[in-house]
Amino acid sequence: MKKKTTLLAVENNLLVDLTFHGVSVSLLSEFAEKIVRPYYSGNLNTAIQDLIHKTLAEQEFFLSHTTHVKREES
């Protein structure tokens, strides 16, 4: 089965509903107990948004540094 890749126009403040499949209850419970309750006052939505923002920032940092290293080796 071929997967379709769809590019979406990015709009600021566009909200979507998100459903996760195949995530274990124990993983979600541990995330809620260790991260969401103490650092986000129980707000799972904010915790997931923050996690996504931090992951994207980390990816940008990684790509900028690995691209820089590759250029120096050439």
| Residue 37: per-residue pLDDT | 97
- C-alpha to C-alpha distance for 12 and 30, rounded to whole angstroms: 31
Q: Compute mean pLDDT per 10 residues along the chain, 74 residues long, and list them.
A: 62 80 95 97 95 95 75 56
b/e per residue 36-71 (b: at least 16 CB within 10 A): beeebeeeeeebbeeeeeeeeeeeeeeeeeeeeeee
Residue labelled with tokens 């209850």: 25
H runs (alpha helix) in the chain:
25-31, 37-40, 44-73
pLDDT of residue 64: 84
Domain residue limits, the chain: 25-73
Residue 39, pLDDT score? 97
Residue type, 43: N
> What is the pTM assigned to this prediction?
0.65
